[in-house]
Structure 1
Amino acid sequence: MLFGWLKNKSQKKLMENSDKILTLHEKTILLQEWQVPPSLSPLNENDLKLLDEIKSRTLQSNRNNITRTQAYLDIYLNHPELHWAFLAHMVSRNAGWNMTDLKRHSLSGLMGFDSSSIFFGFLEKGNHLIFQDAFPQLSLYAEGKRQNQDFSHLLGHIGVSSFMLPFWRLFLKDGGKNSRLLTVSLIINEQSLLQKHVMNNPYYQEKVLNSLKFQLQEKLGFTQILFPYKHRNLIEITGGTVANFASLPSRIEFGKELYMRLFSDPEVLQGAVAFGKDNFHTGSRSDYMPKVFSTDADSLKVYSPHLENAWPTHLHKSTKKLEDWFSFDKANELPGLFTLSGQKDIPNMKEEHLLNIMQLSSLGEIHKLMT
């Protein structure tokens, strides 16, 4: 069973200390709608025009990590009820930093060009795929809000999973108030999509997830997600590290944990939004820690280039409509994922982050001596 891990005792204990965000009535609606195979409604001229506009906008904004990250921020600033968009913006910044990390002297020495290119392709593929799926959903909602119309009948036409359809209908019916329910549903959807079309890919399993280099970097914080935020006149850092990046349940729980750390404390949220608005995402870690990182390769600081100087634009093959990850046989297990931890501690990640930099640098130097 895909989510059989929920029956684990430790997971049950975690759920007992969590806030359930799915009512019995909402669960009943979901189960009823999920068991009816979705059908595509007929399209009129205005529908076709809107879908073409969203497709064009998505294609333009999905060029690279820089454009995706900015697009997420733009849509959140205009529609702050779309919490997932800002969470995606901050996580997408981390994807860009991880991409440029591959050009850092310590990591490039450890991995070599071929391995670095494979890792970059893995990160880019996942980043691209999630945006391709989620951004049209967010855009359709934004357009419906602008025109004061319900465009939920178009969701199926943009390839949205049958899992997400009732959540968007509930969100629209509620006037966009239940941001937490929509956010958790998008976390589950996007991570499940990633699992089916990237993580389960035999090539990436062999070359990335099962590789010793990735496992070493995972232990040293390569799968760490950092949220810089402005606090008084300083930039503080919070976030977390996923325990097992290859595990779908781990990533879902981690996504919910990150959501709470970003949105449960107004000071962190306001500071993170201020950071996002004031610091255009370049892919360089100097965006948030210029005293440690530099885009200058000859600097005494840790080298962290701009993404567009580190990697050429990756041309993705045109993709046909992806097979839906969701099927009704998963339906009874999924509602158990709709909990959010009541824990509101906000860890300071600065020291841990600096320690990881030193560890990875040391690892790179040892590798040079041994090769």
Structure 2
Amino acid sequence: MKPIVTEERGLVAEIRRATNAANRNNLTRTQAYLAFFRKHPEVHWALLAHLVSRNGGWNMTDLKGEWLPRLVDKAESERTFWFLERCNWLIFHDAYAQLLLYEKMKETEEDLTLLLPALGVSRFMEPIWQTFLQKRDSQLLTRALIVNEQQYIEQRVVDKPFARKHIFFSPAFFAQSVLSLNQVIFPYKEHPTDRRLRLCGMTIQRFPSLEQRIATGKTLYQLLFDNPVRLAKIYEWAQRIPHTGSRADYWPHLFSPRPHAVDENSTYTPRIDGTELRAGSPKLYSPGLAAAWPDREHPPADGVDWYRDDKWLAELEQRADLPTIDEEKYIRSLHMIEWGVTFVTAFRP
């Protein structure tokens, strides 16, 4: 391998500084992905990452929102937030550095992929980026990044004893899964004059499974990019509405970032009637991220290069077609959540 010269070491340090600065919290990460996609729309993964990161922020604030505080204690919420935040942080730490290196390669028209190992990137990605520089195969790059980033968090978070013991069997994780608070949704306006946004997306199943997470990423990518007309509408919404972490970003007729007086020990009364709030009911509380969680310091990314088996190359050629949802299925899931919370709070000792 060619040794890295002083100028290249400086570029690696510059990329690391820029990545760390943008990796402050879910809001800054999410915005950075979108800003990158605006400049480099051939990198489809950046828009997919922006939208998935928005959903990650909504999952984080749900822990302090209308429903989950009635079901789980603060310690459980804290652990679940840390898990979500650590996954979000690690993926950005690894992937955004690659995006910034690509930006430099595009600017200088040089192949700088030899710097990927110095950035801690798996050798799996080096030939992928080399191919992308030549062929601009957006689909291949996106699938490769989906595989790589899920492998990256697998060893560093998902497969750790802490996650297996305290996250996947915790009341908070169970509640989010059973009550369908773990969807990934893409909002968009079907027609410019529509008052309400439509939604498409999917419910995340079997998160501890690496293969399932990769299939989920592929399905979401296909859902986002296979329909160019809908893609343009989703992208328009993403540019128009800043990410705050509150679900009021997409459905302000149901959700609000402003809290209201509530007794978390009382029996919950459902507020949604069809697609509307019941008359006289306050909106569902969905705080912004800044109101819900302070910024967190992270330990350095640990681990070793995951790439040991060429079987993962076959994943780059394969589609995945998991079940998807629309706004009708989403509103039904909200009804299920409300009735689930009502049942639990009614029978709580």
Common topology (TM > 0.5): yes
Structure 1 residues 334 and 348: alpha-carbon distance in aligned structure 2, compared to 1, 3 A threshold: closer
CA contact (8 A) 1:217 1:360 kept: no
CA distance in 2, matches of 1:71, 1:140: 14
Matched AA of 1:314: R
| Matching residue within 149, 156, 160 for 1:201 | 160
CA contact (8 A) 1:240 1:258 kept: yes
**Structure 1 residues 286-305: aligned runs within 5 Å:** 286-298=248-260, 300-305=282-287
1:338-362: CA deviations, max 9, x gaps?
A: 234497x995521222222232233
Q: Quick check: 1:242 aligned with 2:242?
A: no
| Matching residue within 86, 96, 110 for 2:57 | 96
Where 2:146 maps in the other structure, the secondary structure is helix
* Partner of residue 190, structure 1: 149
Where 1:91 maps in the other structure, the secondary structure is helix
Structure 1 residues 320 and 303: alpha-carbon distance in aligned structure 2, compared to 1, 3 A threshold: closer
| Matching residue within 125, 128, 152 for 1:164 | 125
| Matching residue within 42, 48, 52 for 1:81 | 42
Where 1:225 maps in the other structure, the secondary structure is strand
| Matching residue within 300, 307, 328 for 1:326 | 307
1:126-185: CA deviations, max 9, x gaps?
A: 0000000000001000111112222111111101101111111111122xx201001101
| Matching residue within 316, 330, 336 for 1:338 | 316
Kindly state the Cα deviation for residue 230 of structure 1 after the two structures are TM-superposed: 2.6
Kindly state the Cα deviation for residue 216 of structure 1 after the two structures are TM-superposed: 4.1
**Structure 1 residues 8-23: aligned runs within 5 Å:** none
Where 2:258 maps in the other structure, the secondary structure is coil
Structure 1 residues 304 and 162: alpha-carbon distance in aligned structure 2, compared to 1, 3 A threshold: same
1:292-324: CA deviations, max 9, x gaps?
A: 10011128011001101110111112x155311
Structure 1 residues 346 and 206: alpha-carbon distance in aligned structure 2, compared to 1, 3 A threshold: closer
Question: Unmatched 5+ residue regions in structure 1?
Answer: 1-38
RMSD: 1.9
CA contact (8 A) 1:90 1:227 kept: yes
* Partner of residue 63, structure 1: 24
Instruction: Count matched residues.
Output: 325
Matched AA of 1:276: A
* Partner of residue 91, structure 2: 130
Q: Quick check: 1:224 aligned with 2:183?
A: yes
- Under a length normalisation based on structure 1, what TM-score does the superposition of the two structures give? 0.83
Structure 1 residues 124 and 144: alpha-carbon distance in aligned structure 2, compared to 1, 3 A threshold: same
> Which of the pair has the greater relative contact order for Cα pairs under 8 Å at 6+ separation?
1
Where 1:296 maps in the other structure, the secondary structure is coil
1:109-129: CA deviations, max 9, x gaps?
A: 101111111110010000000
**Structure 1 residues 272-291: aligned runs within 5 Å:** 272-291=234-253
CA contact (8 A) 2:48 2:224 kept: yes
1:232-251: CA deviations, max 9, x gaps?
A: 12321101123311111111
Matched AA of 2:249: D
Kindly state the Cα deviation for residue 265 of structure 1 after the two structures are TM-superposed: 0.3
CA distance in 2, matches of 1:74, 1:56: 17
| Matching residue within 300, 304, 311 for 2:293 | 311
**Equivalent pairs: percent with the same residue?**
38
* Partner of residue 367, structure 1: 344
1:55-77: CA deviations, max 9, x gaps?
A: 11101100000000000001111
CA contact (8 A) 2:72 2:171 kept: no
- Under a length normalisation based on structure 2, what TM-score does the superposition of the two structures give? 0.88
CA contact (8 A) 2:215 2:320 kept: no
Where 1:207 maps in the other structure, the secondary structure is helix
CA contact (8 A) 2:68 2:175 kept: no
